[in-house]
């Protein structure tokens, strides 16, 4: 590295957390980011203990995010953190992100962005006013073959898009796991912390973002059926949507966490009037291309025939699998390039505007499911 590493702080992600460790490993993967500070829990004692576990220096190991914001804001710019990574439950994203962005710190925030469209628009306004970089970790965006699929659609290889089917199938909430005290199940099934959507917010938002990334299609209307199969559960654990896209394309979106036997099965199929595409997250190094009247083609990660964006997101030669951590790291790489204003790097990552569109999508899905009319206008305007 010929330039200094970016200095990262984390909020949340301490003891017993899953996603915090993923973020830290992904951010460190390419040697461009140092994790130097943290407020790793909403419980001050647990926050400090978690920081000690990870070897944070005592003067950068904070009991709360407010203490961190106050202390880091007082440091010279060449000493203070460059950005915060927010990996807390959904209900805290808005307050934390707004405070740090207003203070001029760059942001990397887990999805969903926040609870309401009003909050999302305020975050968009803050970004517009301050110029901070704001990335949202829709991590599946980072897979090389997702970028290849996007390139092929944009190049017209599928022709006019007619139909999209996207599924995110999980089975981990097929029982009342939240009643056991399991941390991830507990907050994800709590409307106060998770927000208006259960499965549709947790994993359905990933599915919507994948469709938007690859196809560029804009949702026009939604007809949604949301169900909670587990007695007493207050948020949906199964979502089935029909989607009308601007321009005439049709879509089906499934997001379920009660499909026993499924682990993390995110998959997408796209058909145009010239060809089809198919990609599956559990086998992410393969992309199937199905041109009309020609043999089906299998495209594999790491090969020279892929697009520049796909190659830029690749670290290893063909036949050496890359997957979840590397895709996550690509979101951090894109955000880091934007923070540095690096003209030579690939500045390609989901932004606050993608996050805001995702919040709008969740709201409109919940609205449709509650409506007798079902079909609900869902166009989003940035």
The pLDDT assigned to 2 comes to: 61
Report DSSP letters for 304-332, one per residue.
Answer: TTS-HHHHHT--S-TTS---HHHHHHHHH
CATH number at residue 305: 3.30.360.10
My answer on whether 165 and 280 are in the same domain is: yes
The pLDDT assigned to 115 comes to: 97
My answer on whether 60 and 209 are in the same domain is: no
Handedness of CA 153, 158, 162, 167 (dihedral sign): negative
3-state secondary structure of 88: coil
| Other beta carbons within 10 Å of 311 | 17
Long-range contacts of 287-290, Cβ-Cβ distance < 8 Å, separation of 24 or more: 287/145, 287/148, 287/149, 289/152, 289/157
pLDDT of the chain along its 382 residues, tens only? Answer: 467 899 999 999 999 888 999 999 999 999 999 999 999 999 999 999 999 999 999 999 999 999 999 999 999 999 999 999 999 999 999 999 999 999 999 999 999 999 999 999 999 999 999 999 999 999 999 999 999 999 999 999 999 999 999 999 999 999 999 999 999 999 999 999 999 999 999 999 999 999 999 999 999 999 999 999 999 999 999 999 999 999 999 999 999 999 999 999 999 999 999 999 999 999 999 999 999 999 999 999 999 999 999 999 999 999 999 999 999 999 999 999 999 998 877 789 999 999 999 999 999 999 999 997 688 888 888 7
In the 8-state DSSP scheme, what is residue 61?
A: B
Q: Is residue 196 part of a domain?
A: yes
Q: Is residue 164 part of a domain?
A: yes
Range of 17's domain? 6-139
My answer on whether 30 and 115 are in the same domain is: yes
Q: Is residue 375 part of a domain?
A: no
Task: Give the residue from 139, 167, 189 where a domain finishes.
Answer: 139
CATH number at residue 110: 3.40.50.720
Cβ contact 116:363 at 8 Å: yes
In whole angstroms, what is the distance from residue 322 CA to residue 318 CA?
A: 10
Please tell me whether the overall predicted TM-score, pTM, comes out greater than 0.75 for this model: yes
* 111, 171, 237 from 177: Cα distances, Å: 22, 11, 12
Task: Give the residue from 103, 119, 139 where a domain finishes.
Answer: 139
Q: Is residue 201 part of a domain?
A: yes
The two tokens of residue 157 are 């290889």
The pLDDT assigned to 93 comes to: 98
The two tokens of residue 229 are 């199969």
My answer on whether 191 and 221 are in the same domain is: yes
Residue the block writes with tokens 């030579």 = 344
Tell me which residue of 67, 101, 59, 60 sits closest to 84, measured CA to CA. Answer: 101
Q: Detail the DSSP E strand segments found in the chain.
A: 6-11, 33-39, 83-86, 106-109, 134-136, 161-169, 219-227, 238-245, 250-256, 265-272, 275-280, 286-291, 297-300, 376-377
The pLDDT assigned to 206 comes to: 98
My answer on whether 307 and 188 are in the same domain is: yes
My answer on whether 147 and 29 are in the same domain is: no
Ramachandran quadrant class, 231 (left: phi over 0; alpha: psi -120 to 50; beta: rest): beta
My answer on whether 169 and 285 are in the same domain is: yes
The two tokens of residue 133 are 């970089």
Task: Give the residue from 122, 139, 156 where a domain finishes.
Answer: 139
| Tally of structural domains, the chain | 2
The two tokens of residue 371 are 């409506």
């Amino acid at each position: 590295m010929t330039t200094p590493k970016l200095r990262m702080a984390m909020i949340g992600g301490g003891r017993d957390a899953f996603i915090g460790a993923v973020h830290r490993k992904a951010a460190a993967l390419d040697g461009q980011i140092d994790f130097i500070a943290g407020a790793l829990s909403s419980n001050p004692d647990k926050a400090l203990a978690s920081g000690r576990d990870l070897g944070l220096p005592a003067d950068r190991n904070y009991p709360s995010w407010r203490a961190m914001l106050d202390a880091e804001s007082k440091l010279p710019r060449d000493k203070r953190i460059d950005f915060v990574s927010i990996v807390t439950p959904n209900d805290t994203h808005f307050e934390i992100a707004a405070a740090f962005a207003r203070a001029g710190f760059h942001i990397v925030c887990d999805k969903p962005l926040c609870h309401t469209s009003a909050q999302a628009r305020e975050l968009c306004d803050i970004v517009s006013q301050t110029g901070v970089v704001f990335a949202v970790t829709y991590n599946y965006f980072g897979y090389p073959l997702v970028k290849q699929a996007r390139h092929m659609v944009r190049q017209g290889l599928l022709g006019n898009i007619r139909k999209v089917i996207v599924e995110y199938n999980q089975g981990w909430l097929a029982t009342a796991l939240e009643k056991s005290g399991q941390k991830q199940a507990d907050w994800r099934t709590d409307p106060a912390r998770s927000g208006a959507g259960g499965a549709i917010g947790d994993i359905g938002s990933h599915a919507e973002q994948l469709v938007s990334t690859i196809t560029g299609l804009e949702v026009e209307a939604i007809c949604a059926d949301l169900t909670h199969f587990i007695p007493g559960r207050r948020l949906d654990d199964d979502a089935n949507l029909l989607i009308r896209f601007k321009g005439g394309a049709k879509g089906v979106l499934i997001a379920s966490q009660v499909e026993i036997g499924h682990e993390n099965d995110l998959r997408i199929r796209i058909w145009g009037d010239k060809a089809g595409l198919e990609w599956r997250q559990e086998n992410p190094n393969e992309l199937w291309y199905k041109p009309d009247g020609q043999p089906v083609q299998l495209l594999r990660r790491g090969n020279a025939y892929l697009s520049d964006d796909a190659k830029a997101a690749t670290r290893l030669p063909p036949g050496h699998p890359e997957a979840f951590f590397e895709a996550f790291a690509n979101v951090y790489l894109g955000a880091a390039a934007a923070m540095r204003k690096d003209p030579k790097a690939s500045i390609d990552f989901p932004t606050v505007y993608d996050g805001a569109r995702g919040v709008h999508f969740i709201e409109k899905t919940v609205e449709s499911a509650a409506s007798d009319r079902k079909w609900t206008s869902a166009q989003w305007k940035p």
